[in-house]
Amino acid sequence: MKRNCLLLLGILLSVTCLFAKVVVDYDHSVSFSKFHTYSWVGVTVQEALWNDRVMKAVDTQLAAKGWTKVASGGDASVSAVGSTRIMQTFETWYGGGFGGGWYHRGWWGGGGPGYVTVERTPVGTLHIDIFDSQSKKVIWHGDCSDTLTGNPEKNEKKLEKAVGDVFKKFPPPDKG
């Protein structure tokens, strides 16, 4: 029974780590209805080929929300910063006893050697900030992160979906 619970817990933790994560926050005192145009402050990502992809994904979402991109002097200013890191997952298996598995010495006998595997998974994270151009204060912030593959086309689709998820409830409702 303990073995099955540990196995289930391990699977749940692994699956949770593999799905995209989205976090959004905003200044609750700001009326977003006064913003109609935006300009880019800049995009900074580790891989130069992704600058335009990130900008396009954000532009698509803001256009869908009725915002218009202008070269400079927009009501709001947008900045995006992206990074990639390697997430390591360790799994330990103990041999011996009744055919090996997820148990430790003393549970079901055996105490054979332990085996540790390390899985390295690349994870991309994108931070998007929207500023009030006049006051220069951050009025909205969104984060998204997801596991990456070795396939740039698949990663671009993940980027588009993640940015879409970030802007799902944008702009925030005005307090009335």
Q: What is the CATH number of the domain that holds 49?
A: 3.30.160
Domain for residue 173, yes or no?
A: no
Q: What's the structural domain count of the chain?
A: 1
Task: Return the pLDDT at 54.
Answer: 97
Range of the domain at 97: 2-166
pLDDT of 85-131, one tens digit each?
888 877 777 665 555 555 555 555 555 667 788 888 888 899 999 99
Does 153 have pLDDT greater than 70? yes
Query: Is residue 151, in this structure, part of any structural domain at all?
Result: yes
In a domain, 171, yes or no: no
Task: Kindly state whether residue 84 falls inside one of the protein's structural domains.
Answer: yes
Mean pLDDT taken over the chain: 83
Tell me: pLDDT of 12 over 80.
Answer: no
Q: Which of 6-10, 109-113, 121-125, 141-145 has the highest mean predicted lDDT (pLDDT)?
A: 141-145
Torsion of CA 24, 28, 34, 35, to 10 degrees: -20
Contact 13, 102 (CB under 8 A): no
In a domain, residue 50? The reply is yes
Backbone angles phi, psi at 152, to 5 degrees: -60, -35
Instruction: Look at residue 107 and tell me if it is in a domain.
Output: yes
